Structure 1
């Protein structure tokens, strides 16, 4: 499991009803709280005081919420709404039976793959809460082999580049299939040229 300093421990169960009252939710999402979620626990509170660090300029507190699920295929909008409508930075540990995944929200919800609970690993890296939160985003949101967070770069810029790379990869895959199916030489050549342009855009985006 995630190893955090004992001074950050809270361990307080949060009634699901509390979320109904403070979040703007559609009727079906309120129902999902009942059908998908078993229990929500405020596991840890990461602050400059509890971590003995300098205060950040943007992040004052990171809350770790452990969400025990009734089923693995849960509605991710639940977690997204909790994060989007909460003023704190939230790190989610989602658990179902003996498996777990981590999740964070930054313009959209990012999750890791489901793995055994005892294999979950998250490093606390940084000298301020800003740096620690950025480190969490890097470890959870960035996919291996797509792009890297560059020194001095805003993590939001890194994630935008990753989204563009993923979008271009999907377009290239789709166009490659069209090119392979095309039988008319002229049309096939046109598609090939489009494919070359997309591949160039992909390389330019990776190197931007």
Structure 2
């Protein structure tokens, strides 16, 4: 569940047309916005005041935007535009039928997996809005236990997670290529490359890079 204090609840629905009129959207993205988005609302607003925080930070407000989708295959560029053109820090809760997923933009767009509403988790456990924002990004963007458990900076953790994801994709693609290759020399070259990817993954997974 999304465990935010009652004091942060807003539940204010935003008219779609009024919302996207304030965004600089290409004609194509505007069309996709209308096609993909059913409803959009501000679910929660996190501020120093309503969280009873003491320290002033650069982050002034974090909004949880709830977006009900018409289609599950959503164009993430829409979220990027919304996040980049909004003065607040934004966390997105995307809903399609009985499934939900979280998204956050921090230099790039990160998603959680699709899951049931009962399985979604997002908590607050730190003392400043800056720290809360970084923790929310971690909860959504990081999904490798070895990265989550490190005491590195957020930027380093995201860099490691991105590299792990990239290597996993390369390993899967290279394994498929090895199965299809009939020529021994080419297959050997592919297997050599595959072992290099696996070695790099092993190193970064155990924090040895």
The TM-score range, normalised by the shorter chain, is 0.7 to 0.9
Give the equivalent residue in structure 2 for 1:3.
3
Give the equivalent residue in structure 1 for 2:162.
163
- Distance in 2 separating the partners of 1:125 and 1:149: 16
Does the 8 Å contact 1:23/1:81 carry over to 2? Answer: yes
Aligned pairs for 1:38-49 within 5 A: 38-49=38-49
Distance 1:180 1:68, change over 3 A: closer
- Distance in 2 separating the partners of 1:99 and 1:36: 15
- Distance in 2 separating the partners of 1:76 and 1:169: 22
- Distance in 1 separating the partners of 2:173 and 2:11: 48
Give the equivalent residue in structure 2 for 1:86.
86
- Unmatched 5+ stretches in structure 1: none
Does the 8 Å contact 1:95/1:101 carry over to 2? Answer: yes
- Distance in 2 separating the partners of 1:146 and 1:182: 33
Superimposed CA distance per residue, residues 35-80 of structure 1 (whole angstroms, 9 cap, x where no aligned partner):
2212211121101111011335342210111112223333222222
Give the equivalent residue in structure 2 for 1:110.
110
Aligned pairs for 1:1-40 within 5 A: 1-40=1-40
Number of residue pairs matched?
207
Q: Indicate yes or no: 2:73 matched with 1:57.
A: no
Give the equivalent residue in structure 2 for 1:172.
171
Does the 8 Å contact 2:58/2:130 carry over to 1? Answer: yes
- Unmatched 5+ stretches in structure 2: none
TM-score (norm 2): 0.86
Superimposed CA distance per residue, residues 118-168 of structure 1 (whole angstroms, 9 cap, x where no aligned partner):
4322111211112211221121111144632522x2212211111111112
Over aligned residue pairs, what C-alpha RMSD do you find?
A: 2.3
Distance 1:96 1:161, change over 3 A: same
Q: Which runs of 4+ in 1 moved over 6 A?
A: none
- Distance in 1 separating the partners of 2:178 and 2:97: 45
- Distance in 1 separating the partners of 2:55 and 2:143: 29
Q: Secondary structure at the match of 1:92?
A: strand
